[in-house]
Amino acid sequence: MPNKMLPLLSIKLNNFLHRIDCKATIIALVNQHGCSLKRIRRSKNWLLTGKQSQLVEVSEQLQVGKTMWIAEAIGKALPKPSFDLTAIVLANADMTINRLIVETGCTLIEARVAIDKAEDLA
């Protein structure tokens, strides 16, 4: 059975050198988790590349201080999980729109559509 290759994700880190204290420490951390961090041509922007699981591990290590912005950039670039919102509403009879949005990260419109569909099915 062939091993499926997971796609590499690339995250642009603007003004990388100006926003961190020690470049070597960040590069060592990134390399330790199997990712790469390289400068984009001659600009002040850098590119962080890795698999989703590797980037999550790096993000967890950078949740403090001046590196928090890197963790936030990683979080924004990661694919969002998908949920069957209607099934969630059907499973929880007391589900509100606000609670659905908070628990799944869906939009207000998606939550309203899911609740409407659930009410039609019930």
Domains of the chain: 9-77 (3.30.70), 85-121 (no CATH)
Distances 70 to 8, 22, 36, 109 between C-alpha atoms, Å = 17, 13, 14, 30
Mean pLDDT value across residues 47-70 = 90
Q: What is the pLDDT of residue 95?
A: 87
Asked if residue 104 lies in contact with residue 85, where contact means CB atoms within 8 angstroms, the answer is yes
For residue 4, give the DSSP letter: P
Mean pLDDT value across residues 15-37 = 91
Residue written as token pair 């936030």: 72
Q: What is the pLDDT of residue 112?
A: 92
Q: What is the pLDDT of residue 80?
A: 77
pTM: 0.65
Q: Is the pLDDT of residue 36 over 90?
A: yes
Q: What is the pLDDT of residue 81?
A: 74
Residue 81 or residue 71, greater confidence:
71
Question: Percentage of the chain surpassing pLDDT 90?
Answer: 43
CA geometry: angle 45, 49, 52, nearest 5 deg: 135
Q: Is the pLDDT of residue 35 over 90?
A: yes
